[in-house]
Amino acid sequence: MITDKFGIQMFSLRASFDANARKTLKMVAKMGYKGVEVAGLGCLSPGEYKEICGELGLEIYSAHIGENDLTDEKFAETVAMLNTLGCKRAVLAWIKTPDSVDGVTDACNRLNKYAEMLSGDGIEFHFHNHDGEMKTLDGKKSILERLIEGTSTKVYFELDTGWCNFGGGDSRDIISRYADRIKLVHLKQIKSQNERITTEFENGNVIDVSQIVSVCKKVGIDHFIVEQDNSDDEMLSAKMNADYLLQK
């Protein structure tokens, strides 16, 4: 067994969830997942989502949000949703990749602002990377490294290992060097370095899941979240990935 403590980013099951939220969450628990990362509520209210997860023994690890959810107009609503869910980790799912040093500085300022805003309500702020953040602007440090080093310690990072490695980074190195800033890890497999296609753990070669989990455990990171952006059969892929971690 690689690990038995892992959740799933519900974006991986978006079609199934939209069709039948309760049934999808029930299947997630049955597959062996211990938690979920919220990616929209579908037809459920925050209270209903929390209640169903509670009944199924699923922990709500975190929730993905967008910058639009942190505007002055939407902030109170976003905090209310997170509090009703009982979710204390908000993850900014995406930003437009900065293309200059000034752009990185602007992004750092925004991340700092969001972290400060949410911390006042007892919510941790995290940023989720894509492969674009692994580019360098000067041939030295990647944009992701600049974001980590250029933000306050109130800004945490959810390292997406698949996009990190596909973009030219080394997830194990990033985790080891910035362990104090990374609390959540996305386990994501990419078909190959030449094919930007997410796939099941056993059907790609961009990350070594076992090695990444091992490094994480050494530095005290224990929240693993499976994410597969696209699949011809969401449920089958989710089960394959769960079975892989459990070594069934």
Question: Please, where are the H alpha helices in the chain?
Answer: 14-19, 21-31, 46-56, 75-85, 101-119, 143-149, 161-166, 171-177, 209-218, 234-246
Q: What is the pLDDT of residue 248?
A: 65
Q: What is the pLDDT of residue 139?
A: 82
pLDDT digits (tens, 9 = 90+) for 167-205: 999 999 999 999 999 999 999 999 999 999 999 999 999
Mean model confidence pLDDT for the chain: 97
Q: What is the pLDDT of residue 140?
A: 86
Helix axes 234-246, 21-31, angle to 10 degrees: 20
pLDDT digits (tens, 9 = 90+) for 103-142: 999 999 999 999 999 999 999 999 999 999 999 998 889 9
Of all residues in the chain, the percent with pLDDT exceeding 70 is 100
Confidence class of residue 68 from pLDDT cuts 50, 70 and 90? very high
**Tokens representing residue 133 in the block:** 């953040």
Q: What is the pLDDT of residue 117?
A: 98
Tell the residue number behind the tokens 């940023």, with chain if given: 127
Amino acid at 43: C
> CA 179 to CA 164: how far, in whole Å?
15
Over residues 41-46, the mean pLDDT reads 97
pLDDT digits (tens, 9 = 90+) for 203-228: 999 999 999 999 999 999 999 999 99
3-state secondary structure of 207: coil
Over residues 26-33, the mean pLDDT reads 98
